[in-house]
A and B are shown apart, each in its own frame.
Chain A
């Protein structure tokens, strides 16, 4: 019996999404599954959005190899898929002689990893590049090839393009059982589907060890390591141009000061191993730690500038490297332990898995009708912020829904909300990730009621069923006028 799918991918975070998009180049039947109500709702929505230069990783590891390769692919990817990407560069800063020596060793490591264009800079040049840095800094390691992206925008773009090119996306499809049959694998999901596939790729993030265990494979364990991040008001968005790193610790790259593509500066993340895989709480200690570290590097950072915070969970594999490869179960391939630099490496991970699939006997016939391009939703916020009113007017004349402002803080119009809904996003979080409506300084106080009404009108989903991030997270679950409350 021929299985339904050539490849079933479990997990629609950046790893699964990048792979889905890569596989969509070929004449294959691919299914992309995720347990959440939308893609990128796991680790991929709660990370720092950094495309690393590559000097942090130990040479010879999968991490370093795939990170360097992945980094190079982002110019082309961001052009094809129209997600925001800026090669801002990164600085690792040092305060003491000892730290300067460590910078030097990272420089050497970077050379071993083939990281291009690095420089070791003294205090003066560092402060010239980043005037808001602590003047006590002795020097820095500068890697201009590092960049920043919007991680969920990237993931949404990958999935949209994959789906355009024939990949089947299945959401709210938590995998409960995987079985090996004679010549295929069978996957059963929570919503009752039973899928058969020649290959199953385990890209399930924090739950990838659980997925492997469904087949009796217990050779790796995921240690969930939580990171808290704090977003600052975009009015202090010019504090830094580049991603600022301290000298790292053994368990994390440290607490950073990160400019973002949408404006606000982010500080964090913390690194704390936690017990459960779904603990996404921010903490008082986390806040204190982040700010004391961040303020050391950029003294002008203030707690009073915080507009919101969030936490993400890194899927750290024991042994600290990516776990990508075949397993004892034929057809079941791991893409696990994808913590930092997972985002950077994701397109290279996708190519590596394609190589593995090829070796395992999957024919990769290029589709002649593969369309690499994905059109982003036209946004007017840049026009408004840069006072380009001619462009704004032209956009409105082409589509009058752009004259209806929905999110005041981030300048998002109804046209963008409608486009996001058309692309399948009907939760407030997903629409926020796609359009930025609700992510500004009023934190959705103004736009929530408007967005709810628009979703209801466009999709027929009644307001009481519209949720933040899937069933169980409805915002206003009780209509008060329909009978006795």
Chain B
């Protein structure tokens, strides 16, 4: 099977042509770097995304702390991770990189703060 994909690993956004079958990638063309090949495999079989959102924070101004997942997570879990973030309220002070939720939804990836508040 063939599919056209746009690699989202970096802002270049290379247009990939992917040839694959039920269980493996047969070939990838159009990528400028090897990460494109790796992205194609992930995207076809188990797509992942980085989630960025905000979490309530008390004792700080503004009262929202921006957070991100420390790596990409299965695409299907992104809404659930956002929901988890909705439920939280953390307390200031928080530093960039502080873990807000460890191993969020058992993805092996943490939800971390991206701002000092």
Bound Cα distance A485, B56 (Å): 14
B45 interface residue, CB < 8 Å from A? Answer: no
A484 to B83, CA, bound (A): 8
Is A284 on the interface with B (CB-CB < 8 A)?
Answer: no
Residues of A contacting B109 in the complex (Cβ-Cβ under 8 angstroms): none
Instruction: List residues 434-485 of chain A with CB under 8 A from any CB of chain B.
Output: 481, 484-485
Closest to A485 in B: B86
A485 to B64, CA, bound (A): 16
Q: How many residues of B contact A (CB 8 A)?
A: 5
| Cα–Cα distance between A481 and B54 once the two chains are bound (Å) | 9
Q: How many angstroms from the CA of A485 to the CA of B54 in the assembled complex? A: 14
Q: Which residue of A lies closest to B83 (CB)?
A: A484
0/1 string, B33-59, CB within 8 A of A gives 1:
000000000000000000000101000
Q: Which of B56, B83, B86 has the most CB of A within 10 A?
A: B86
Q: What residues of A have a CB within 8 angstroms of the CB of B86 in the complex?
A: 481, 484-485
Nearest Cβ on chain A to B52's Cβ, whole angstroms = 15
- A72 CB to nearest chain B CB (Å): 54
Which chain A positions have C-beta within 8 A of B64?
481
CA distance A481 to B57 in the complex (A): 11
In the complex, A433→B86 CA distance in Å? 38
> A40 to chain B: closest CB distance in Å?
35
Q: Which residues of B contact A484 (CB under 8 A)?
A: 83, 86
Complex interface: chain A residues within 8 A of B83 (CB): 484
A485 to B53, CA, bound (A): 14
Alpha-carbon gap, A484 to B86, bound state (A): 7
Q: Which residues of A contact B56 (CB under 8 A)?
A: 481
Interface residue ranges, B against A (CB under 8 Å): 54, 56, 64, 83, 86
* 6 smallest beta-carbon distances between A and B, as pairs: A481-B56, A484-B86, A481-B64, A481-B86, A481-B54, A484-B83
Taking Cβ atoms with an 8 Å cutoff, the residues of A that contact B are 481, 484-485
Q: List 7 A-B contacts (CB under 8 A).
A: A481-B54, A481-B56, A481-B64, A481-B86, A484-B83, A484-B86, A485-B86
